[in-house]
Structure 1
Amino acid sequence: MYSSGANHYQAVSNQTSIVDADPHQLIQLLLEGAMSRMAQARGCIERGDIEGRNNSINKAIAIIGGLNSSLNMDAGEISFNLKRLYEYMQQRLFEANVRNDINALDEVVRLLGEIKVAWEGIKEEAKAYIQNR
């Protein structure tokens, strides 16, 4: 009973965060969501939970796909490089899922973590850009 209530509260909290988020925050939420799913997948691999691993990795792949599709390809070389990196991460996650490979999973967590730190570092610039559009 408690976990059902806690899950419902978390879902409402997530929905509120999304509704109140600006475009920069939405990307942050997606990055955090992908990293959370990969942490879940890692736990599933360690426990031998094949279905949980599969579901968590597939959700992470879908989130990274969403990040990839949201890129503004008119922004130049950085968008092209991010597109290639997102595609690489999706491939590595697929391999992690097929091979039960924690190292591949950890590699993607590290790469996405670097993107997240960089994204947080440009928060003010991104907000200024969005306001001037």
Structure 2
Amino acid sequence: MLQTTAQNTYKQNQVGTATPQDLTLMLYEGGIKFIKRAKHSIQEKDFNTAHDLITRVQDIISELIITLDRKYPVAEQMLLLYDFMKNRLIEANIKKDIAALEEVEEFFVEFRDTWKQAMQIARSQQPQQK
């Protein structure tokens, strides 16, 4: 119990002090983690847990949609992809379809990896502080 409390405190501090870019990365990583756990739950025939985990991934996508900066043209394309992912998650939840989860997971991995690269490029272009 003490370890769980310490872990929760650490996570709260991590989120509370993270930049918006880091929070987006955390959302992508959370989506991947919950999809992996949902696939495992389906394999173990623990459908209630799978449902809860898939719902958490849907919530993550909703948060990603909310945080989209619509002034950039790519935002509309991302919105379409997020909507597609949400629909696939609904299908996966209804049918307990691991293949649909894997499809969404691939999007999350690609988005996370691209986001990490963009963050690295942005940081390398910032003037060094002395």
Structures share a fold, TM > 0.5?
yes
Deviations 1:57-82 (A, max 9, x none): 00000011110111011111x11110
Q: Partners of 1:6 and 1:96 in 2: how far apart? A: 33
Residue 107 of structure 2 aligns with which residue? 111
> What value does the CA root-mean-square deviation take over the aligned residues?
2.0
Residue 30 of structure 1 aligns with which residue? 27
Contact persistence 1:96–1:104 (CA under 8 A): yes
Q: Which runs of 5+ in 1 are unaligned?
A: none
Aligned AA for 2:96? N
Aligned AA for 1:30? L
Using structure 2 for the length normalisation, give the TM-score. 0.89
Alignment identity in percent? 26
Using structure 1 for the length normalisation, give the TM-score. 0.88
The higher relative CO (CA closer than 8 Å, separation ≥ 6) is in: 2
- 4+ runs deviating over 2 angstroms: 4-10, 124-129
- Do residues 66 (structure 1) and 63 (structure 2) align? yes
Select which of 49, 52, 71 maps to 1:52.
49
Q: Which runs of 5+ in 2 are unaligned?
A: 126-130
